[in-house]
Amino acid sequence: MQKTSIPQDIVSLIHLAQMHDDYAMHQLLEVLQPFIRSRLIHPSIAPHDCDDLIQDISLRISRNIYHFKTIETIPFEHYFNRLVSTSKYDYYRRQKRLRLQQDCLVQEAECSYRTQLPSVEAQLILKERSEILLNCCKKLSKLEREVVQYILDDYSPSETAQAMDLSEKTVYNALHRSKVKLRKMQELLDA
């Protein structure tokens, strides 16, 4: 990484920028932009991200320049180098987090894709359970079977009542009785 020294006459621009002189701030950022770019050129940083980082660093400088104290012991170059390096580290952390998120998304997609087709065993179990359910439904009364069939066809209880020309209470009662009977039959089969 090539480090070129920042000119010493930049201190006057910093003083003017700290006094809220917009033109001085603009001049300061124009002077610093080549130095920022030279420190950001690296194969690990994408060119389009480099421009975003330059804008981010420029924004940080313009926001925090008022807090910088121009004293002899700590030159502006140290502050500048620290700002650039922390921005780069933030960039690397962000890129790592994005890669991890993308990997997780790919793994989730693979897992859900693998489970799209049920196994032969699962299909056989499902077929057997549906046959058991049909046999259990044969033991229900005619009204209860019709109500269950409407519910399985995605009718609401009120729509079922209208279609069968019954009161809603009758449909709810038949539905409740059929649920109780089917649960009892299921418990007997599971035991």
Co-location of 16 and 48 in the same domain: yes
Are 89 and 56 contacting, i.e. CB atoms less than 8 angstroms apart?
no
Domain boundary among 80, 95, 113: 113
Q: For residue 14, which phi and psi values (nearest 5 degrees)?
A: -65, -45
State the pTM of this model: 0.49
What pLDDT is recorded for position 39? Answer: 85
Flag whether 158 is in a domain.
yes
Please list, in sequence order, all residues whose beta carbon lies within 8 angstroms of the beta carbon of residue 11, skipping any fewer than 6 positions away. Answer: 70, 76
Range of the domain at 73: 10-113
Flag whether 177 is in a domain.
yes
Co-location of 56 and 140 in the same domain: no
Co-location of 65 and 15 in the same domain: yes
Domain boundary among 81, 113, 145: 113
The CATH code of the domain that includes 27 is: 1.10.1740.10
Co-location of 98 and 166 in the same domain: no
* Mean pLDDT, contiguous 10-residue spans, the chain (191 residues): 60 77 82 85 82 87 77 73 89 92 83 64 83 83 90 90 92 92 82 66
Q: How many domains does the chain have?
A: 2
The whole-angstrom separation of Cα 19 and Cα 129 is 80
What pLDDT is recorded for position 1? Answer: 46
Co-location of 161 and 69 in the same domain: no
Domain boundary among 113, 146, 179: 113
Which of 154, 153, 149, 147 has the alpha carbon at shortest distance from 169? 147
The whole-angstrom separation of Cα 12 and Cα 146 is 90
The whole-angstrom separation of Cα 58 and Cα 78 is 16
Tokens standing for 86?
Answer: 């922390």
